[in-house]
Amino acid sequence: MVVLTLLEKCYSFRWRHFLKIFEDILSPLIEGLEVQFKILGKTGENWIQVEVFGSDVPVVTRYLDQKFGLAPISLENLNVFEEVRGKIIDARQVGYGLYVDVGISSPRHIDVLLPLHVLRSQLANGKKLSVTNIVEAFALYDNRPLTIQVTRIDKTKGEIEGRLSTSQYSLFEEWVSLDFDRILVLGRPFTEVHRVVKRSNFERDVIKVLPLGFLEQLLLCKLGTEGPGIIKGIGSMLPQTPLHCFSPKKARTIREDP
């Protein structure tokens, strides 16, 4: 038997219901293997915990690590230059960077800091922009999934720093280069968001719904469709759910010289 902390969070006012949905998603993924599992709930930081037991536990553990990622738990399990998945927390709360929760809880809860100078270098062509400017231009809001690379670990001080991974940086560059608005839906499972889009009057304006995580979805808008208009139209159908627009035009603008 093993208890796994997955790098997927369960939050919002309907988190108990969403845990049941996650259980329904997990069941067919491990069908046919000699294991049983139980959703234990979530940690204080909202990471989903699963208990797995049976002869195929090692197989399932590797699969879940590939599919969702497993929290390192201890600072001792994290290494410099390692890539790890995480979720943004407390966006715009500090002026010196952006924090990403990667599931470190021992010896205490520690988040990874993406320093402001690194964000400027990777996303803003080195321009001296504020954290708020960068967060709003690239929709770097709470609970958004990011893949980062660890660049510094100070075990004495309990500090971790990082940067966007190569794949994450490349994805942002692709978004900036293509003239498609994208809408982040943070706090709803794929099935609910897909159903809302299908039932709305905006289905023709959305190319597809793409999952970024269990409760984080992306709406890819058609060329010429403005994201804020979609948000205004479907916002009432997704109450208490943060919706944010990524505009490639806005992202390009902050990079330009004044």
Instruction: Say which amino acid occupies 48.
Output: I
Tens digits of residue pLDDT in 221-251: 999 999 999 999 999 999 999 999 999 999 9
Question: CA geometry: angle at 61 spanning 42 and 21, to 5°?
Answer: 40
Cβ atoms of 101 and 89 closer than 8 Å = yes
Cβ atoms of 214 and 8 closer than 8 Å = yes
Average pLDDT over the chain, rounded to an integer = 96
Give residues with Cβ within 8 angstroms of 53, minimum separation 6.
1, 2, 35, 36, 37
Q: Does one domain contain both 164 and 96?
A: yes
- Edge-to-edge order in the sheet of strand 182-186: 206-211, 216-221, 182-186, 243-246
pLDDT tens for the chain, 258 residues: list them. Answer: 999 999 999 999 899 999 999 999 999 999 999 999 999 999 999 999 999 999 999 999 999 999 999 999 999 999 999 999 999 999 989 999 999 999 999 999 999 999 999 999 999 999 999 999 999 999 999 999 999 999 999 999 999 999 999 999 999 999 999 999 999 999 999 999 999 999 998 999 999 999 999 999 999 999 999 999 999 999 999 999 999 999 999 999 988 866
For 57, phi and psi rounded to 5 degrees? Answer: -55, -45
Which of 11, 39, 67 finishes a domain? 67
Distance from C-alpha of 167 to C-alpha of 164, rounded to nearest angstrom: 8
Cβ atoms of 233 and 201 closer than 8 Å = yes
Q: Does one domain contain both 136 and 119?
A: yes
DSSP 8-state symbol, 43 = -
Per-residue tokens: 238: 């997704």
Closest among 55, 1, 52 to 23, alpha carbons compared = 52
Cα distances (Å, whole numbers) of residue 151 to 26, 77, 115, 116, 164? 33, 15, 11, 14, 10
Distance from C-alpha of 257 to C-alpha of 127, rounded to nearest angstrom: 8
Which of 16, 39, 67 finishes a domain? 67
Question: CA geometry: angle at 17 spanning 33 and 55, to 5°?
Answer: 15
Q: Does one domain contain both 189 and 222?
A: yes
Distance from C-alpha of 223 to C-alpha of 181, rounded to nearest angstrom: 8
Its domain, for residue 115, covers 73-174
Q: Does one domain contain both 61 and 95?
A: no
Cβ atoms of 112 and 86 closer than 8 Å = yes
How many structural domains comprise the chain? 3
Q: Does one domain contain both 168 and 190?
A: no
pLDDT for 257 equals 65
pLDDT for 256 equals 83
Which of 67, 89, 110 finishes a domain? 67
Closest among 25, 147, 42, 176 to 88, alpha carbons compared = 147
Q: Does one domain contain both 77 and 163?
A: yes
Distance from C-alpha of 88 to C-alpha of 254, rounded to nearest angstrom: 21
Cβ atoms of 212 and 218 closer than 8 Å = yes
